Amino acid sequence: MSEPVKQEGAQALDEGIEAGISGLTTEQIASVINEVIDNETGARLKTYVDTCVHCGLCSEACHFYLSHEKDPHYSPVGKVKQTLWEMLRKKGRVGPAFIKNAAIIAHTECNLCKRCAQYCPFGIDIAYLMLVVRRIIHKLGVTPLYIQDTAHSHSVTMNQMWVKGDEWPDTLQWQEEEAQTEIPTLRIPLDKEGADIMYSVIAPEPKFQAQLIYQMAVIMDVAGVNWTMPATLGWDNSDMAMYTGDNEIMGRLKRTHYETAQRLRVKRIVMGECGHAFRSVYDMGNRWLGWKMPPIPMVHAIDFYHELLSQGRIKIKQKYPEPVTLHDPCNVVRGGGLGEKLREVAHAMCETVVEMHPNREHNYCCSAGGGVINCGPPFKMTRVNGNRVKAEQLFAAKTRGAKTLITPCHNCHSGLHDIVEHFGIGLEIKFISDILYEIIEKPEAT
Amino acid sequence: MKGGREWDWEISEKRVAINEWGTSFGWVEEPYASPDGETVAAIVNVAEMEFSVCVNGKAWDVTFDKVWHLRYLPDGRLTALVSEMGEWTAAIDGIAWDSKFGYVWNPLVSEDGQAFAVAAQQDMQYCMVLNGEPWNETFANMTYFALSPCGTKTAAAVQVENAASGEIHKFKKGTFTAALEGKAWESTYVNVWGLAISPDGESLAAEVRQDLYDYTIAVDGKAWDTTFSCVWEPIFRPGTRTVVAPVRTKGQWTLAENGNTLWDRSFVQLWQPIFSPDGNHLAAIVAPAFGRWTVALDGVPWAKTFGDMVTDVVFSSDGKRLAALAKEGRFWKVVVDGKVWSHKFDMAWPPVFSPDNETVAAKVETEGTYAFVVNDRLGPHACEAAWDPVFSPDGNRLLLRSIEDGVYCRRVVPVSDFMP
Amino acid sequence: MHDVYSFVTGPLAWAAFLLFIGGSLFKLGWMLHLVAKKERFIFTYMSWRYSFRSILHWIMPFATTNWKLHPVLTIVTFAFHLCLLATPLFLLSHIILWDEAWNIRWWAFPDALADVMTVVVILSCLFFLIRRVQQPEVRFVTSTSDFIILAIVAMPFITGFIAYHQWFNYKVSFILHILSGEVMLAAIPFTRLSHMILSPFTRAYMGSEFGGVRHAKDW
């Protein structure tokens, strides 16, 4: 049976992938694939492969598939066929060109958003299968350059952005000083043992978006929270190693994060508005280490803001006047059930909330998650063109009046920014804290 | 922890009204009590962007643009990291080191408190500084740090080959190594983590990743012959230069000594190994099954396991007893020799053995109120803050440091007060 | 011809049932063994409540988002699976065979109903065949084995239908019916037809993860 040709532009060149496959032989590839399949997978992989009846019902779950005019190459099961099935069928004996294609598919055409798990009648976890492919790609040394570099940063600095040991506390002290011009007694308490809450962030915040730390410091101060931020490693909760299949580094990152919180003897960890980090601390990294659930409760920012608002610890001075729409980040809504709380926070903050459809756990992914945006510029258009359905959804929300798009996740933020820009949608994108900071009652400046 | 003989062990109470400090300063940060309990100190804001340290109500004579990380050393000296005119250094009892840097952080303290080290950056070059003396060599980056138990040597994981961000293939060839007293090993690795210096200060061990997949332990620049799919930080056997570390093979963790398996069973997880002071026993935190945690002594896990976390394993001074903290659900418990105390807490601090190893005490917290617990008996004091209890050298008395109603309180009580 | 009949209803029937039951037990046992050996953590997340919450949603037509998205397929697939399982179990002539061999009997469908249900299965198979060829997303993941599996499922019903209506040579079609039924039974544990045995487990696991950990609906 002849196969349709995949719709795509010129295939991106990635130095990590190209250099990675350059020295590979079929024997080496087979040895790595079989080693991973035999030693690192078990009942799930076997059962999923045996159970799948090739019905294609997962297809319409995938924004890549929907955005590519239902090109079956982009359906979830289509991606498994082009990668794992073939590896299994040939007992690992596939060539470097196949591996290159598999790396591109698994790393840049799947956001591991798990929407397809909600559409498969058998609940087959295709995101897991794609992670197995990424693990193989990692073991073969063919991971795309940008995300591999990020994984290297994690391995050296325990953060995502090569932020050095001194730069971190220095940045916090700088933000503390900045915020003291607004609230003179405000503190960002560093390494305060016995605080109630450790606040952890992802490295792009100190690197590029220090105002987010500023805003959170103001919110914490206004709410009178007994909080701290670590001055040592362990402050960063992000994890691209989870997405490159470098599970050992993933484990190391999460251990450092949780042990830092334990060293500070906090009751809970509150994390910033990030999706993938939530997945890493809540669902992935902790399991690799042997923790069934987070050993210290992890509270996502949505949950935390919800708590502060519902307990009246922060008060809204005046609701945000512009109509907003909400993007549900997969990792905290499909992955953490925070959809309703997100809405309650949005309604508490804003005059008008315009819903996108589908929403909540049935949302479309931003197409940046799962490490796809972290594969960098070579694959920017892969994810932007791969998410035309999101653009349509955003446009529909705009038509119904939305002016601002709220998304409590860094990757969603950046990914949606590219989509809004490319498709000329014209929505302003904000984090919850951007709005909260503007509208909460603060002590009058002296 | 054991207190000094020269300390005041009379049954008594001494108080410092720290709640009155607020009137003299812009604000007062969280207080710290000295090991002997005689003084209590806090960073204070004296004017806009001007800070000092207040000790028992009296501020240091000097002020700084910034002061952070205030801590007492075990010998009673008071340290802080301070900045003046954009330069950073450490100050001890109000006297800043002569050497100044672009930034200093991550203080390390020797057991006796005589040695105080920090990591330092100057002109984007990094080195360790011990008692004010920086290394002669500097490095482009420095990540993990160590101070020898004897307090004479410092070490760090250092970058010796430059690889710009994005140079993944150069990075994979190995750009990091470890340096003892600034002298870097010849061998390089993809990563170097978790350093340990031998008791005599002569040998340095570290976790290394040789490529993206092979992990092992390197000692003085020489890697073990065996590699593993992962390792955790090494420790030295007391009085020797042999190294023990948790290692992962076939998805399970065990302990290895100089590359050879030490324990005959493996675990879902194993970390934070600790030797008894005499070196005869070895304990570690282990997960015998997924999601179940406990302590293994010489390879044998305690029968009782816990769902969330086990931390702070402590040997008694004679090496015969073992205590730890365990978390089950939202509560922390103290576990001694595998037996769980009946009280549960919102938070607990490392258990402390008495000098005769008969009694175990700990600082604990429930719903924001701190207290002391001794042999599973909860003391009467409800405190706003507290510090670890300290036993008198004869083991009969306890020094309890706390804050109650805004007043710092140094209290010496008979241990028998806690007994039935 | 009688020898062939004796063979397919005797040793071959035994073999088919043994392969079906033994193979299914082995398949389940192997899966559980693999979980115990390599992915023990799965046990700790399994929840009865969320397993059944998920299974119940998915075995009800139009109770999930995806069933609603595909109304025709949903009707066909539910009708197909219902008829596929119920027809052979409640067919009078099958029950008579059980009665003769083991002296056990139960309620039977009227023949006319069974006949209609057989047609439903055959037409459903035709629908699946057309869908497999016509729908690009299905065609793309289709291999020869998918057609063979479809044929294995359709054959007992086609031959049974022919035999019942006594078209062509009754004896031949009857024997072919028995044979194809046995092939299907034996194939269940060893082909993707094993989704019959395994899918409750995959569904239960995903239901448990979504319900207990992710706090989200998996339908």
Q: What is the CATH number of the domain that holds C111?
A: 1.20.950
The answer as to whether B184 is a domain residue is: yes
Q: B157-181 burial, b for 16+ CB within 10 Å, e for fewer?
A: bbbbeebeebbbeebbebbbbbbbb
The answer as to whether C74 is a domain residue is: yes
The answer as to whether C9 is a domain residue is: no
Residue of chain C whose alpha carbon sits nearest to that of B250: C38
Both B176 and B33 in a single domain? no
Q: CA torsion A83→A84→A86→A92, rounded to 10°?
A: 110
What pLDDT digit, counting tens, does each position of B118-159 carry? 999 999 999 999 999 999 999 999 999 999 999 999 999 999
| pTM, rounded to two decimals | 0.96
Domain end (from B236, B266, B296): B266
Indicate if the pLDDT at residue A9 is higher than 70.
no
Give chain B's domain count: 2
The answer as to whether C112 is a domain residue is: yes
ipTM value > 0.90: yes
Which residue, among C50, C48, C127, has the nearest Cα to C81 in the 3D structure?
C127
Look up tokens 């009782």; give the residue: B304
| A323 or A10, higher pLDDT | A323
What pLDDT digit, counting tens, does each position of C122-144 carry? 999 999 999 999 999 999 999 99
Give the chains touching B; criterion: ≥3 Cβ pairs < 8 Å.
A, C
Both B142 and B95 in a single domain? no
Name the percent of chain C lying above pLDDT 90. 93
Contacts of A77 in chain C (CB under 8 A): 137, 141
In this predicted structure, what is the pLDDT of residue C1?
65
Which of A139, A152, A232 minimises the CB distance to B213? A139
In this predicted structure, what is the pLDDT of residue A339?
97
Q: In chain A, what are the domains?
A: 15-143 (no CATH), 159-310 (no CATH), 324-439 (3.40.50)
The pair phi, psi for residue B375, each rounded to 5°, is 45, 45
Contacts of C210 in chain A (CB under 8 A): 117-118
Name the percent of chain A lying above pLDDT 70. 98
| Residue-range definition of the domain harbouring residue B32 | 1-100+380-420
Both B113 and B36 in a single domain? no
Q: What is the mean pLDDT of residues B14-23?
A: 94
Which residue, among A186, A149, A113, A148, has the nearest Cα to A368 in the 3D structure?
A113
The answer as to whether B193 is a domain residue is: yes
In this predicted structure, what is the pLDDT of residue B52?
97
- In this structure, are residues A117 and A129 in contact, taking their beta carbons and an 8 Å threshold? no
- Residue C33's CB is within 10 A of a number of other CB atoms, namely 13
The answer as to whether C219 is a domain residue is: no
Peptide bond into A4 cis (omega under 30): no
| Residue-range definition of the domain harbouring residue C68 | 14-213
The answer as to whether B56 is a domain residue is: yes
Tokens matching residue A169: 């506390």
| A-interface mutation test, from C46, C149, C214, most A Cβ less than 10 A away | C214
Indicate if the pLDDT at residue C9 is higher than 90.
no
What pLDDT digit, counting tens, does each position of A21-49 carry? 998 999 999 999 999 999 999 999 999 99
What residue type is A4 in one-letter code?
P
Give the chains touching C; criterion: ≥3 Cβ pairs < 8 Å.
A, B
| CB pair distance less than 8 Å for A52 and C213 | no
- Residue B280's CB is within 10 A of a number of other CB atoms, namely 12
The answer as to whether B187 is a domain residue is: yes
| C-interface mutation test, from A47, A132, A289, A334, most C Cβ less than 10 A away | A47
The mean pLDDT value of chain B amounts to 96
| CB pair distance less than 8 Å for B191 and A194 | no
Domain end (from B266, B298, B327): B266
The answer as to whether B195 is a domain residue is: yes
Indicate if the pLDDT at residue A7 is higher than 70.
no
What pLDDT digit, counting tens, does each position of A126-185 carry? 999 999 999 999 999 999 999 999 999 999 999 999 999 999 999 999 999 999 999 999
Residue of chain C whose alpha carbon sits nearest to that of B251: C38
Both B32 and B70 in a single domain? yes
Indicate if the pLDDT at residue A1 is higher than 50.
no
Give chain C's domain count: 1
| B-interface mutation test, from A15, A22, A164, A257, most B Cβ less than 10 A away | A164
- In this structure, are residues B300 and B285 in contact, taking their beta carbons and an 8 Å threshold? no
| CB pair distance less than 8 Å for C194 and A81 | no
Indicate if the pLDDT at residue C202 is higher than 70.
yes
Indicate if the pLDDT at residue B305 is higher than 60.
yes
Quickly list H helices, A158-300. 167-180, 204-208, 210-223, 241-244, 247-263, 276-279, 285-289
The answer as to whether B2 is a domain residue is: yes
Contacts of A50 in chain C (CB under 8 A): 192, 194-195, 198
Nearest-angstrom CA–CA distance, A107 and A120:
21
Both B159 and B43 in a single domain? no
Both B57 and B181 in a single domain? no
Domain end (from B230, B248, B266): B266
Q: How many CB pairs under 8 A join A and B?
A: 113
Distance from CA of B214 to the nearest CA of C (A): 22
| CB pair distance less than 8 Å for A291 and B347 | no
Indicate if the pLDDT at residue B224 is higher than 80.
yes
Both B198 and B84 in a single domain? no
The answer as to whether B18 is a domain residue is: yes
The answer as to whether C156 is a domain residue is: yes
Q: What is the mean pLDDT of residues C49-76?
A: 97
In this predicted structure, what is the pLDDT of residue A6?
77
- In this structure, are residues A223 and A270 in contact, taking their beta carbons and an 8 Å threshold? no
Both B210 and B93 in a single domain? no
| CB pair distance less than 8 Å for A231 and B106 | yes
| CB pair distance less than 8 Å for C38 and A50 | no
Q: How many CB pairs under 8 A join A and C?
A: 139
